Amino acid sequence: MSSRRFQELRVYQLTERLADDIWKIVNGCESLPQDTVGKQIVRSADSIGANIAEGVGRGSYQDNRRFIRIARGSLYETQHWLRRAYSRNLLTDQQVDALKLIINDLAPQLNAYLKSIGNVPDD
């Protein structure tokens, strides 16, 4: 496996940017939206990068690939919660547009990163 540190991966850096931007938005919410939808968005967004880090730390191609798939699932969960927040008027059009830019860059990068991690058959 690559000895490259996960913090140096562009895909990981995008996850940090997405999670930090979401944190800033949720931190400004009132208590009910913050305690319900807000916490879910923060958890799912934080989970994307956490799973990339854990996958790298596991030390095997198979484990890394599995955790990248979990990260991809967390990205889709984040998109779900962002849709809920927008439909409940918790996000502005400008906030959604800014987050979409990151997500639209991040999703294909996760797939490319997955493809780049060894060509080993999945269990």
Confidence of residue 3 (pLDDT cuts 50, 70, 90): very low
Residue 42 near residue 50 (C-beta atoms within 8 A): no
- What's the total number of domains in the chain? 1
- pTM, two decimals, is 0.88
Q: Which of 12, 39, 7, 1 lies closest to 113, judged by CA?
A: 12
22: containing domain: 6-116
17 assigned to some structural domain: yes
Residue 1 in domain: no
pLDDT at 33: 79
User: Is it the case that residue 2 has pLDDT exceeding 50?
Assistant: no
Give residue 60's identity as a one-letter amino acid code: S
94 lies in a domain? yes
Residue 96 forms part of a structural domain: yes
Positive or negative: CA dihedral 30, 40, 72, 60: positive
User: What is the per-residue pLDDT across 87-102, written as a single tens digit (0 to 9) for each?
Assistant: 999 999 999 999 999 9
Q: Is 123 among the domain residues?
A: no
For residue 63, being part of any structural domain is answered with yes
**Residue 32 pLDDT level (bands cut at 50, 70, 90):** confident
CATH assignment of the domain containing 30: 1.20.1440.60
Residue 98 lies in a domain: yes
Residue 54 lies in a domain: yes
